[in-house]
Structure 1
Amino acid sequence: MQETVIQTPARLHFGLLDLHGGLGRIDGGIGLALEQPRTVISVKRSRDFETFCPMEPGFEERLHVAVQAVCDHYGFSAVAVSIKERARPHSGLGSASQTLVGAGLAVCALHGLSPGAAEIAGLVGRGGTSGIGIGAIEHGGFILDGGHRFRRGEGSKSGYSPSSASVGVPPPPLLARYVFPPWDILIVIPRGEGASGNRERDLFEEACPVPAGDVEKMCRILLSQMLPAVLEADLQTFGAAMEAYQQYGFKVFEAETQGPLIAECAEFLRSGGGCGVGMSSWGPTLYAFGDDLSPLRDSSERWLAANGGGEVLLTRANNSGFRILKGM
């Protein structure tokens, strides 16, 4: 085999569940894999290590380090990695994990191996805070991860930090994964970026710990409303739970880092019939659920055109995870 091509799904992150840590665990969260946007990666055998990411050349060095780590761990020879498609970076869709973990999986597939996404994530430094992206890549669907041990010795986290600043922390356990109903999902990405790098790390330190009462309310919403609504395909209850979940904890702080345009866009989506409107991760990506969101997609495109531009996608949940497109 000379080439492997893989696609990994983007994900929505609905919010970290516990950034209080009083029960000895931290992080945790819920999210959903998407059919679109996606990341598509080609890996070929090569004389030298090469990485190409034409849509974000500044990412190539980080990609090179990750691929080198995977090859060194398994004893593979050099490869050339080319990113063919990629979700917009720093937009709340998890493009870094999709690219780095996806590249590692593709390298292994090229050599006839099929390790789990969590194993690759540990090698490339992902999953130190959230396990949603890893679960989305491996399994697809609606994901609940169990977070990390907090200040309890070796292998636990000692502070509040994003994945990019949680070096050496293993990915969290996957607590639950459910097939998501075939609802329309509208993705609206206004101009702008979410927090990343040092800014993201500083914001974690500023906002944490969140009140324990907020965590308790989020857990109740999740267990008594949201998860049953997913299993029963109850759109209205799911939407109400999603809106309520985002009124507590770290998600409130994430929303405050964005300007008024994001709040105005979210209200536009609600007024247009979107259900369960929210912001993914640090934003600026917004989402809404519904039975038929084609009219709202069209009106959202017009709204964005009049408010600085951006992207609009109408998609559904990915319930299968990554796919090998070539090289099986």
Structure 2
Amino acid sequence: MAESISKEWGVRIRTGCRVSYTLIDLNGESGRRNGMASMALRSPGLEAVVLPSDVNKVEADENGSAHVAAVTGLLERLQEAWQGPPARVVIRKGLPPHTGFGSGTTTAVAIGRAYAQFADRSVAVADIARAAGRAGTSGASPNLIERGGFLVDGGHLNPDDFGEDPKRYLVPTRYAGGGKRPPVLISAPFPSWPVLVIIPNGNQMHGEVERQFFARTLPIPAEEARRTAHAVLMNLATAVLESDYTAFCRAVNFLTYESYFKRKQIDMQSAQVKFLLEEARRGPEIDAIAMSSEGPMCYAFTRRPQDAVRRLTELRGEGVVREFWFSGARNVPASVDWIPALEDQTLVD
């Protein structure tokens, strides 16, 4: 869009959140590390706009406010690198932070993508992720912004000195920096199964707490990494591709209740999260349940929605669950659109 016209226009981006089934290889003896099985959900979703401004500024709703500083820094770096125009960024609908929705990476990369269009730059999402210092562990959020659906990425090639100090490289994404984006191994639409999103009263695992957890837990035993990789590639992914609900639920429950690293993640969570997961395993209401990343958010699958809602309502009354709702997979990429830069942005649908 020509500069004279673009002063009257902004850019809006809408995308889903990222939920994680599991990181795949947290041992690294194979020569690669990390990798993730993940998917995009419609709700909660992210919506942000990039508008003309005389100076850079970032505004956000309550959820998005956790990422204002990071987005401001990224905006300034991109503007300098691209010699782009200043912009006003408004995060209209932010993702709940530190809950398991991939909010930090998704927010930064999505807004960087919107600013690239605003600045009339054709830039790969992988380059934006590097500028944001993200995707150093998993490429889930950047890849899902481009694709949506269900995704398995192949992690990172180990550096030559990995064996000397694996803990140096087996770290959370915010400490891993922006590396080469992991390759996509499997990318497919997720079946039309409803997804029951559950927010229990749990611990928000981020920052130094998360870094210390990785440091004392990793590397995991090589045999456990192989079990997880086999479950992801031969059970979880195949069930998605074949729309086999029974096999899918069996694979999800294996990753939740039997895989080594996920059990360690659950051990760090609150009594309420552990109780929820045990209730899901014992009761007939839930067919399968997963905890995304370190949680506390869980997501579940059920053929008995009325019974599931009834039980979750009881658990909410008991202080185990804070909120829950039905969502579904977002099987399309992020939408990036030009919008008129109106003073009253509520007029823009």
1:311 corresponding residue in structure 2? 323
Answering whether residue 74 of structure 2 is matched by residue 63 of structure 1, we say: no
TM-score, scaled to structure 1 = 0.93
1:37 and 1:326 mapped to 2: Cα distance? 23
Q: Superposition RMSD on alpha carbons, in Å?
A: 2.2
Alignment of 1:23-172 (within 5 A): 23-56=30-63, 57-152=65-160, 158-172=168-182
Give the AA of the match of 1:304: R
SS at match of 1:36: strand
Deviation at 1:290, TM superposition (A): 3.2
**Cα distance in structure 2, aligned partners of 1:322 and 1:297:** 30
Helix, strand or coil for the counterpart of 1:33? strand
Larger radius of gyration: 2
* Residue number in structure 2 paired with 1:322: 334
Which amino acid in the other structure matches residue 30 of structure 1? A
Count of residue pairs the alignment pairs up: 327
- Distance in 2, matches of 1:151 and 1:67, equals 30
Among residues 171, 184, 207, which one is paired with 2:194 in the alignment? 184
User: Is the Cα–Cα contact under 8 Å of residues 47 and 78 in structure 1 kept in the other structure?
Assistant: yes
Q: Supply the AA of the counterpart residue of 2:312.
A: S
Determine if contact 2:13/2:337 at 8 Å carries over to the other structure: yes
The share of aligned pairs that are identical, in percent, is: 27
1:291, CA displacement in angstroms?
A: 4.6
Contact in 2 for aligned 1:70/1:123 (Cα 8 Å) = yes
Are the aligned partners of 1:6 and 1:326 in contact in 2 as well (CA < 8 Å)?
no
2:238 is matched with 228
1:244 aligns with 2:244: no
Contact kept, 8 Å, 2:276 with 2:320, in 1: the verdict is no
**Matched AA of 2:106:** Q
**Distance across 2 between alignment mates of 1:221 and 1:309:** 29
SS at match of 2:70: helix
Quote how far apart the aligned CAs of 1:20 are.
0.4
Return the TM-score normalized by structure 2: 0.87
Cα displacement (A) at 1:178: 1.1
Deviations 1:140-193 (A, max 9, x none): 111111111223269x99521111101242322222211110001000011233
Q: 1:165 to 1:232 in 2, by over 3 A?
A: same
**Could you list the runs of 5+ residues in structure 1 that have no partner in the other structure?**
none
Q: CA offsets per residue over residues 61-103 of structure 1, 9 Å max, x none?
A: 2210011122222221110101111121000111111211111
In the alignment, is residue 7 of structure 1 matched against residue 17 of structure 2? no
CA displacement, residues 40-67 of structure 1 (integer Å, 9 cap, x when unaligned): 1011011000011231545322210011
Aligned to 1:293: 305
Distance 1:258 1:159 in 2: 24
Q: Structure 2 unaligned runs (5+)?
A: 1-7, 341-349
Larger mean CA deviation between 12-21 and 304-313 belongs to 304-313
Write out the 4+ residue segments of structure 1 that deviate beyond 4 Å after TM superposition: none
Q: Is the 8 A contact 1:269 1:296 kept in 2?
A: no
- C-alpha separation in 2, matches of 1:48 and 1:272: 56
